[in-house]
Structure formats: structure tokens, C-alpha cells
Amino acid sequence: MPITPMEVYKLLPKTNCKRCGEQTCMSFAFKVINREKTIEDCKPLFEEEKYRSQKEKLIKLLEPLNKATETGLIVDESKCVGCANCIVVCPVHAAEDPFGAGSGFGPTIENPILRMENGVVKVVNMEMCRRYGKNRTLCVACRENCPSDAISFLEG
């Protein structure tokens, strides 16, 4: 299940104190999902006793995000049969590796986003993916073309 900014916001102090460097708690919630900020950046959450239960709930909620800090995209390997649709469909691969992955072959660039290793798709280089970073877009190309729903995203 993807973690939404709203779920994070509900557990924050909601005081818009700006100590994290953001204007509002909602904006901070988005940055946490994006991994541009960490939950520890919310000082009141960790300093004030009254927020303890919210803090614990938030840490638990954001656990999967921590586990997949390197990826954010999870491949359920038990479902993946190695069809490589995700690799070929990826618009970033098409742009960065047009005569490799973009043309149906295994990626020829050093660090593609996805690559088939030992028969299943592995996430190699999430940073290149359009879904992350400052100018992220809601790209779902890989997930949409996986017939066995092996690919899921952490946030919405």
C-alpha cells in the first residue's frame, strides 16, 4: 500500500512552526515521502512528550520507506518471470539507452534503473527514475505493463 502525504500529515504536530525549514506541515509531509527530508527534521515531534505516541506511529508508518530508501519501487520477485516489459517500457531508459533497453535489448548503460539479474528484475539505480527527486512526475509505465503486478510503488 502506498504511503500518502496525508497519512503522514495526520500524525504531525500540524502547527506550521517552520522549524523543519518548510512553510507548512503538509509541505513537510510531502518532503518526507519524497525523502528530501527525514522525520527527524521535525524538531517538536522528537522534543515534546505530548507528541510521543504520534512520533511512534509515524516511525512505524514510514518503516517501509526506510527499508526501501535505495529504491522506493518494490519488485515482488516471486511474481516476476523476467519478461522485461518494465525495462523496455521505461521512458527514462528509452531516452538514456535508446539503442539498448529502448530497442528491446538488455540495458547497455552502466547503471540503468532496472535490469534483469538471474531471471528477475532488480532495481539498480532509482535516482534516474522520474518518480523521484525535485521534478518528479507520476510515471507508472513499469507497473502498468507488468501482467503479474510484481511492481509496486511505495507512495501513491
For the chain, the distance separating the N- and C-terminal CA atoms, rounded to the nearest angstrom, is 8
Q: Which of 17, 94, 109, 139 binds other proteins (CB under 8 A)?
A: 94
SS3 117: strand
CB of 133 to other proteins, least distance (A): 23
Selected binder of other proteins within 20, 45, 84, 123 (CB under 8 A)? 84
Neighbours of 104 (CB within 10 A): 10
Please tell me the distance from the alpha carbon of residue 112 to that of residue 94, in angstroms, as a whole number. 11
Instruction: Indicate the helix (H) or strand (E) that contains 121.
Output: strand 120-123
Burial status of residue 15 (CB atoms within 10 A of its CB: 0-12, 13-18, 19 or more): exposed
Binding other proteins by CB under 8 A: which of 16, 24, 34, 85?
Answer: 85
Is 134 a residue that touches other proteins (CB under 8 A)?
no
Candidates 13-21, 46-54, 55-63, 101-109 — which segment interacts with other proteins by CB under 8 A?
A: 101-109
**Among residues 70 and 117, whose Cβ is nearest to other proteins?**
117
Separation of alpha carbons 94 and 90, rounded Å: 6
- The yes or no reply on residue 116 touching other proteins (CB under 8 A) is yes
- The smaller minimum CB distance to other proteins, of residues 46 and 105, is found at 105
Which residues of the chain form contacts with other proteins (CB under 8 A)?
80-85, 87-89, 94, 98, 102-107, 115-120, 144-145, 147-148
